[in-house]
Structure 1
Amino acid sequence: MKVSHLSVVTLDYSVSDESGDVLDSTEGREPLVYLHGAGFLVPGLEKALYDREIGDSFELDVAAAEAYGEYEDDLVQSVPGELFDGMEVAEGDTFVADTDDGHRPVTVVEVTEDFVKVDANHPLAGVNLHFSVAVRDVRAATAEEIAHGHVHGADDHHHGHEGCCGGHGHAHDHDHGDDHECCGGHGHDHDHDHAEKADGCCGGGGCGRH
């Protein structure tokens, strides 16, 4: 069986940046099991896997635009410090902000007396990636898996790879509450207004440390 839309695929993989630094790998871990075409992979890798078969191995360079997107300067914004509800924040802290599009992770890049500058870009935005991939298994998805948008069963190991390659997830698995956007997921539903209104970033329900 070939990899096709909504098939269940088992992969071993390694992903590195342009400097050759390994960002994530299944080496020494269970392989990744996922529902193909359901948003678990970055677009460039997902496209390259179509029509692959069990036993196929390949190397792939994925440009930033087909991975986590280009870096967007307007996703770096300053918000009033009061919106953090008295929490102590420091550069490098990551929070989940309440936005019009739902929860979104943001990273603190600067803290002043009155404002906190946050970056809503994905940590790997603007980074070209290199993948080494081996297809271990391909099977048809069950009707339940297709309906739920994720893999079920004893061979479902994707929970062990939450956020790999820096992914922050779309929370596909609503039954378990897991974010499992492995090797990518799209993560590009940018809310350009998230830091401009009190109920957008760290407002309303506030910020939760991620």
Structure 2
Amino acid sequence: MTITAKKVASIHYTLKNDQGEVLDSSEGQEPLAYLQGFQNLVPGLENALEGKTAGDKISVVVSPEEGYGDKNPELIQELPRDMFGGIDNIEVGMAFHAETAAGQQVVEVIDIEGDTITIDGNHPLAGVDLHFDVEVLEVRDATEEELLHGHVHGDGGCGHDH
């Protein structure tokens, strides 16, 4: 069976950056199962897996346009420290949930100068070329419920109601 829309594929993957550092991997864990054609993966990886079958191994470089997008400078903002009310010890690298016009968003502290805190709301992998090594383990038909919900269900369902 090949990976096409409405199929569930189980894959093992390793994600590296241009420097060869491992950013994410399923090594030593359960394989990742996803529903093809439902944007469960970044577009560049989903496109590269189309038509593959169990046992196939691929290496693909996904550009930011086909991954997490380019960095948006508008998502980098300087804020006064008092906007972080009640948090005394703010450090570079800390992540916060922020209410934005687009809803809840995770922002990371990227710089601190005196009472000015610079945050970045871009995805951590925005602007990064993504180097994926993927092995396809299994391909199966999606269930009606998975197609309805738009994602894979593990044993016992997906844990939420619709």
Aligned residue runs from structure 1 range 119-130, under 5 A:
119-130=120-131
Q: Could you tell me which amino acid in structure 1 is paired with residue 69 of structure 2?
A: G
Distance apart, 1:132 and its partner CA? 0.9
* Percent of residue pairs bearing the same amino acid type: 43
SS at match of 2:107: strand
Kindly indicate which of the two structures has a greater share of residues assigned to strand: 2
Aligned residue runs from structure 1 range 59-78, under 5 A:
59-78=59-78
Residue aligning to 1:180: none
Aligned residue runs from structure 1 range 1-210, under 5 A:
1-88=1-88, 89-154=90-155, 175=160
CA RMSD of aligned residues (A): 2.1
Larger radius of gyration: 2
Moved more, 89-98 or 65-74: 65-74
Q: Contact 1:33–1:155 (CA<8 Å) still a contact in 2?
A: no
SS at match of 1:111: strand
Residue aligning to 1:186: none
Whose RCO is larger (CA < 8 A, sep 6+)? Answer: 2
Q: Contact 2:92–2:111 (CA<8 Å) still a contact in 1?
A: yes
SS at match of 2:44: helix
Distance apart, 1:32 and its partner CA? 0.6
Q: Which runs of 5+ in 1 are unaligned?
A: 157-172, 177-210
Q: Quote the Cα distance in structure 2 between the aligned partners of 1:2 and 1:175.
A: 29
Q: TM-score, normalised by structure 2?
A: 0.88
How many corresponding residue pairs? 160
Distance apart, 1:72 and its partner CA? 2.2
Distance apart, 1:153 and its partner CA? 3.3
Give deviations 1:8-67, integer Å, cap 9, x for gaps: 110011111111111122221111111222222111101111111112111111112211
